[in-house]
Amino acid sequence: MLEQFIELKTRQLIFYTARYFRGRIPYQELHLFIWDTLEEWAQFGIQLKTPQNHQEQVFWHLLHQLEFWPEQQLKTDQVLQQNIQHCLSYLRGKGNIPLDCVGIRP
């Protein structure tokens, strides 16, 4: 069940993030997706903070980055945007795990 959750939410995270950076959805919609995901995660009641695999690690890292940085920074910081794109590439199966990726479960 947990693996299915991460797999589904990873696909959705890729979709929402890519659409946001293409200017197709507003930041608020991305923000609501993140909080809905965290609400659903809370229902699992998992106490272990260590992700099961690299995909889950990158998933949590990207989710945190998108929620941590203010919208203005997401739109203007090119290094941050490159890091986000690197995470997206990995989650799509088209790249290596980002070296500076520190993803833990909430």
What are 42-70's pLDDT values in tens digits?
Answer: 998 888 888 889 999 999 999 999 999 99
pTM of the full structure:
0.94
pLDDT for residue 49: 83
Contact 13, 60 (CB under 8 A): no
Q: CA end-to-end span of the chain, whole Å?
A: 17
15 token code pair = 């979709």
Domain ranges of the chain: 2-91
Give the closest residue to 60 by CA, choosing from 87, 42, 20, 40. Answer: 87
Number of other CB atoms surrounding residue 105 within 10 Å: 16
Between CA 100 and CA 83 the distance in angstroms is 9
**pLDDT bracket for residue 30 (50, 70, 90):** very high
DSSP 62: H
